[in-house]
Amino acid sequence: MKIFKIIIFSFMLLIFLSSCEKDKEIDQEKPTIDLSIQGAFPVNCDTIYFGEISTLKVLFTDNVELGSFSIDIHHNFDHHSHSTEVTECNLDPVKEPVNPYVFIQDYDIPEGLTEYETNLEINILSTENSVLLDEGDYHFFISLTDKEGWSTQKGLSIKMLHR
Chain centroid to Cα 137, Å, comes to 21
pLDDT score at 84: 78
Are residues 146 and 62 in contact, defined by beta-carbon separation less than 8 angstroms? yes
Are residues 117 and 98 in contact, defined by beta-carbon separation less than 8 angstroms? no
pLDDT score at 63: 96
Task: Give 25's pLDDT tier (boundaries 50, 70, 90).
Answer: confident
Give me the mean pLDDT over the 16-32 stretch. 74
Domains of the chain: 27-161 (2.60.40.10)
What is this structure's pTM? Answer: 0.82
